[in-house]
A and B are shown apart, each in its own frame.
Chain A
Amino acid sequence: MNKQIAEGELAVEVKGLSHWFGQQRVLNDINLKITAGQIVALVGPSGCGKSTLLKAILGTHPPSEGEVIVDGEVIEAPSRRVGIVYQHYSLFDFLTAERNVAFGLKLDSTSLPFRMLMLPKWLQLRQQHLERSREYLKRVGLEASAGKYPTELSGGMRQRVAIAQSLILKPKLLLLDEPFGALDEATRESLQMMLLGFYQENLIAKAEGRTPEYTILIVTHELNEAIYVANRVIGLSRFHDQADRGAMVVYDRPCPVFQPDDPKDVEKLVEQREQLRRAVFDPAYVKHHSKYVSFWSELAAQEAAVAGIR
């Protein structure tokens, strides 16, 4: 894990978040800090409240208790600070790929009266938006498909466009809700590479003293994927010593991040996957809920070790 990325500027903070559906408490006292440039994977058994947490961060379903702070502001409704890519329904059917990507720029930088009453200015601006849109499509390797409608694109291409659509607005946090779940293995792998590429760009930005552009929280049910693409993995589960109080963060540890072209350290990967599977998915393994919540302390230990060497 890269220390610089972990220590960056705070992008998202979840404070004491709990949520009930009727009498049933689904989430219990979730506390999280995600710094700019982190790529965080969120895993957990089905029905453990991952989507509820994601919706709270997105702002569509505010929590019963606690708050989500993004860029210093409490999230109460969806806004451009938090982008989202869903497994399905990520693109607007009636727009071509380039217009889908430029859609946010249009909505964010102009109003309906402006577009109707200042048509020449709007058309001029539109060209700039489309140019930027094509730049982002190039970043995700789809410049050749700019004029295609979503129905003419494959599942993997659609998800790439959806990622570009969200990233063009430079959100403080990008949520990926099982984005590769419906894709075949090869496409999934190429998109994982794309995320690793983003992480590499974050490292370069940090080294140059810039704020990293990509802060991502990816929800996935694929443990290998979680450990492979993220630099931090968080496990949400009801299998802990306070199970009656709902799901809590029971796993929060750094991951060995690979560069896109690096060979995978399979041994490390398998070891962490087994630990994650047991800690988060095994109902028989009851432990103190914070046993594996050690991301920040491991970071501090790493820092101390580095300081000791110096």
Chain B
Amino acid sequence: MIRQPIPAWLVYTLGVSGVVVVLAIYAALSIRQTQINPDQNIFPGIQAFGEGLSEITKVRGGESNPKPSWLSVDLRETYWRLFLGLSTGVVLSVIIGIAMGSYTVVEALLNPIVTFFAKIPPTAMLAVYMVVFGIHLKMYVAMIALGVFFTMAQAIYQAVKKDVDSDHIDKAYTLGASEFEVIIEVIWNQVLPRVLENLRLQIGPAMVFLIAAEWSFAGEGMGYTIKQQSKLQNMHVVYIYLAILGFSGLFFDWLLVQARRRLCPWFGE
């Protein structure tokens, strides 16, 4: 039956079963492919993954001039770009989204522009960002920030319109709030869970934009290494990078869910 609840043990069992099934399919494909071609690297086995892991975590350069491993450089570059881009995009979208939802002048001025740009895929704008910002950090930050900004600003604007009733605002004034306090104390608190929910949804697209940009232009970063290693058909490295991207995505998602539970316990699940 639709939405019929199931016991907690069954939820966990089904979750674990899904993972086991995927691993089993992979193992079967890997064994089958190895039987056909013992040197295959399309579905590498456990040993190959071990080698891949050691390869990407190995400290480079000589003893006199040690250089960080590929993985540490890529993680640092990619997640720094992601952090800067996302935080810039979120701050901008919160300010603009709340302003659009609160002031009709701002709404009339910006709504058409925001709606227009939200329809353009950020990867299609890559050429523009490259010409304007060059192929340095600024380009990645701009692409992620603007990539999430238009969609998120629209979502926050809608949340302010829908979740913050005019009666709440009038009520706050009768309790002695100034206009700025209404925005900070009422509107911001009311839409905060929506901001966190939208941020959860935007991490995936932000990673897509970033990996695509790194694939095309970077000399370091997860996207760059995936491109280089896939050219060499080193899938044992590529799959590890993909797993890292997946797990880090899960981790950020978990972090944001915890933040929402802690900051907005009233919002429920």
Contact = CB atoms under 8 A, between A and B. Distances in A.
B167 A88 contact: yes
A95 B184 CA distance: 14
Contacts of B178: 107, 111
B52 to A, nearest CB: 47
B171 A86 contact: yes
A84 B180 contact: no
B61 to A, nearest CB: 48
Interface of A: 58-60, 77-80, 82-84, 86, 88-90, 92-95, 103-104, 107-108, 111-112, 149-151, 165-166, 169, 171
Given A94-B264, A107-B175, A151-B268, 13 more contacts: A60-B170, A78-B174, A80-B175, A82-B174, A86-B171, A88-B165, A90-B171, A92-B171, A94-B189, A112-B181, A151-B266, A165-B175, A169-B175
Nearest to B180: A112
Contacts of B174: 58, 78-80, 82-84, 166, 171
Nearest to A80: B176
Q: Is the interface of B mostly helix, strand, loop or mixed?
A: helix
Contact of B173 (A79, A90, A92, A112): A79
Which of B168, B170, B184, B186 has most A Cβ within 10 Å?
A: B170
Contacts of A107: 172, 175-178, 181, 185
A104 B175 contact: yes
Contacts of A103: 175, 185
25 contacts: A78-B170, A80-B174, A84-B174, A86-B171, A88-B167, A89-B167, A92-B168, A92-B186, A92-B190, A93-B266, A94-B190, A94-B192, A94-B266, A95-B189, A95-B266, A104-B176, A107-B172, A107-B178, A107-B181, A108-B175, A111-B178, A112-B181, A151-B268, A166-B174, A166-B175
Contacts of B192: 94
Contacts of B184: 112
Contacts of B268: 151
A92 B167 contact: no
Interface residues of B, number: 25
B265 interface: yes
A80 B170 CA distance: 11
Nearest to B189: A94
A169 B167 contact: no
Contacts of A112: 180-181, 184
A90 B170 CA distance: 10
Interface of B: 165, 167-168, 170-178, 180-181, 184-186, 189-190, 192, 264-268
- The residue among A89, A108, A151, A171 with the most chain B CB atoms within 10 A of its own CB is A89
Contacts of B170: 58, 60, 78, 84
B37 to A, nearest CB: 60
A189 to B, nearest CB: 25
Q: Which of B170, B175, B181, B186 has the most CB of A within 10 A?
A: B175
A260 to B, nearest CB: 27
Nearest to A82: B174
A101 B189 CA distance: 16
Contacts of A77: 173
Contact of B171 (A79, A84, A111): A84
Nearest to B192: A94
A107 B179 CA distance: 11
B175 A89 contact: no
A112 B183 CA distance: 12
Contacts of B186: 92
Counting from the closest, the 8 A-B pairs by CB-CB distance are A108-B176, A104-B175, A78-B173, A149-B266, A89-B167, A107-B176, A94-B189, A80-B176
A151 B184 CA distance: 22
A92 B172 CA distance: 9
Contact of A89 (B171, B264, B266): B171
Contacts of B165: 88-89
Contacts of A88: 165, 167
Nearest to A177: B167
A4 B185 CA distance: 41
A84 to B, nearest CB: 5
